[in-house]
């Protein structure tokens, strides 16, 4: 039974998800109402389909464990599935049905091109289990320095760890473009296999979720490694107060959430919490490509989320950090670990070209580095 049909058949209109979710509250009185509209004609509801952040909070609060977000993703995927006798032209959906999605399609094409991808491992000790650091897309685009510092730390803790710069394909998956997602995702798995990688260390929580749910790859986050093996140096936050935002993909990963809080405490920061945290955390407003559906609604959600912060916002997701920085100062936990100024992002200038230049620069630095 599809997710859409399951909601039509099983939802009892209790309203728990609607009361909790900005998206549902804006578009319907009950997810059953949306399910019927999606089933009737998905093309009538493009804006609604792409306004959901796919964060999973609706399922977390549903007494029946129903997931309206899965209904939205399922319906997005249907848009990319052709039932014609003759195959549709490549990128037909992007070019003729939903042109607004082109920006993310282009991001995926460029992000996985040879200009920005790199695989480099040590060949000195062939008998040792091979590990690789996979920082994802958002962190390299934000700060090549943090990626380099993170890798240097990992080299000290995990001798001969390699580096792989690439994208896991999550943006394509969230768009509903399963074909492009599988091509990107399976390409990275094949690269892991070719290099003999037995463990992947990630900095991106979205990458962690994609590999955890779609592969058997052994995973650890750099935050868990730091919590276990120690911080790179003695750092004192001087009891300054920070507010930690939990990323949606960490909703059911207490080991990651706890590791981040442990690191902040070890650095002597005073932690304050948002009203919605841990398993009940709310999306930053940019998850699931939701700004492509309803930009105003997504912006309103981001502002409401950051308003819950009692102090400096600190995240452990590069995408969340970037989203919050449009409305105020936001830092990545690695900023604190590797000595960034506490308030350095009060006036941050957003430039997509700079993000690409950062990634290109990072690749060049790793090309010259001895592994």
Distance (Å, rounded) from C-alpha 172 to C-alpha 137?
A: 13
Cα(151)–Cα(300) distance, integer angstroms: 36
Could you please report the per-residue DSSP string of 275-322? SS-GGG----S-GGGGGGT-HHHHHHHHHHHHTT-SSEEEES-HHHHH
Q: What is the pLDDT of residue 133?
A: 98
* pLDDT, tens only, 151-176: 999 999 998 899 999 999 999 999 99
Residues with Cβ within 8 Å of residue 31, at least 6 apart in sequence:
7, 11, 17, 18, 24, 58, 66, 68, 71
Query: Could you give the CA distance from residue 327 to residue 348 in angstroms, rounded to a whole number?
Result: 10
Chain-centroid distance, C-alpha 207? 6
Instruction: Please check the confidence at residue 348 and state whether its pLDDT lies above 90.
Output: no
User: pLDDT band at 224, cuts 50/70/90?
Assistant: very high
Name the band, by pLDDT with cuts 50, 70 and 90, for residue 253: very high
**Domain spans, the chain:** 3-79, 118-368
pLDDT, residue 230, reads 95
Q: Which two tokens stand for residue 135?
A: 């920082």
pLDDT at 45: 82
What confidence category does residue 266 fall into, taking pLDDT thresholds of 50, 70 and 90?
very high
Coil vs helix vs strand at 71? helix
Per residue in 304-347, pLDDT tens? 999 999 999 999 999 999 999 988 889 999 999 998 655 555 55
Compute the distance between CA of residue 284 and CA of residue 164 in angstroms, rounded to an integer: 27
Contacts of 124 by beta carbon, 8 Å cutoff, 6+ apart = 160
C-alpha to C-alpha distance for 170 and 193, rounded to whole angstroms: 20
> What's the distance, CA 71 to chain centroid?
20
- For 243-275, letters b (16+ CB in 10 Å) and e give bbbbbbbbbebeebbebbbebbebbebeeeebe
| DSSP secondary structure string for all residues of 148-191 | HHHHHHHHHHSTT-EEEE----HHHHHHT-HHHHHHHHHHHHHH
Residue-averaged pLDDT of the chain = 92
This prediction has a pTM of: 0.94
User: Radius of gyration over alpha carbons of the chain, in Å?
Assistant: 21
pLDDT in tens, 227-236: 999 999 877 7
Predicted local confidence at residue 328, as pLDDT: 87
């Amino acid at each position: 039974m599809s997710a859409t049909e399951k909601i039509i058949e099983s939802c009892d209109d209790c309203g728990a998800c609607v009361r909790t979710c900005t998206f549902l509250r804006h578009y319907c009185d009950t997810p059953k109402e949306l399910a019927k509209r999606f089933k009737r004609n998905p093309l009538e509801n493009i804006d609604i389909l792409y306004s959901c952040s796919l964060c999973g909070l609706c399922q977390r609060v549903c007494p029946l464990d129903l997931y309206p977000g899965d209904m939205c993703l399922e319906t997005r995927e249907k848009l990319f599935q052709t039932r014609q006798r003759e195959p549709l032209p490549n990128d037909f959906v992007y070019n003729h049905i939903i042109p607004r999605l082109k920006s993310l399609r282009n991001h995926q094409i460029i992000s996985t091109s040879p200009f920005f991808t790199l695989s480099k491992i040590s060949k000195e000790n062939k008998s040792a289990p091979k590990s690789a650091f996979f920082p994802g897309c958002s962190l390299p685009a934000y700060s090549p320095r943090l990626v380099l510092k993170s890798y240097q730390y990992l080299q000290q803790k995990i001798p001969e760890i390699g580096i792989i710069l690439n994208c896991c394909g999550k943006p394509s998956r969230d768009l509903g473009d399963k074909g492009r997602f599988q091509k990107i995702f399976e390409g990275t798995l094949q690269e892991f296999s070719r290099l003999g990688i037995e463990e992947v260390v990630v900095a991106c929580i979205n990458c962690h979720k994609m590999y955890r749910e779609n592969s058997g790859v052994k995973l650890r986050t750099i935050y868990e490694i730091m919590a276990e093996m120690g911080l790179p140096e003695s750092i004192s936050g001087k009891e300054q107060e920070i507010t930690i935002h939990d990323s949606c993909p960490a909703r059911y990963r207490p080991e990651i959430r706890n590791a981040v809080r442990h690191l902040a405490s070890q650095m002597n920061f005073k932690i304050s919490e948002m009203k919605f945290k841990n398993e009940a955390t709310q999306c930053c407003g940019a998850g699931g490509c939701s700004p492509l559906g309803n930009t105003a609604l997504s912006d309103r959600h981001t502002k409401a989320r950051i308003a819950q912060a009692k102090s400096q916002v600190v995240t452990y997701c590069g995408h969340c950090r970037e989203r919050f920085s449009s409305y105020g100062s936001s830092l990545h936990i690695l900023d604190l670990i590797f000595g960034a100024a506490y308030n350095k992002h009060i006036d941050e200038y957003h430039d997509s070209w700079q993000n690409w230049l950062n990634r290109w620069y990072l690749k060049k630095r790793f090309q010259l580095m001895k592994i």
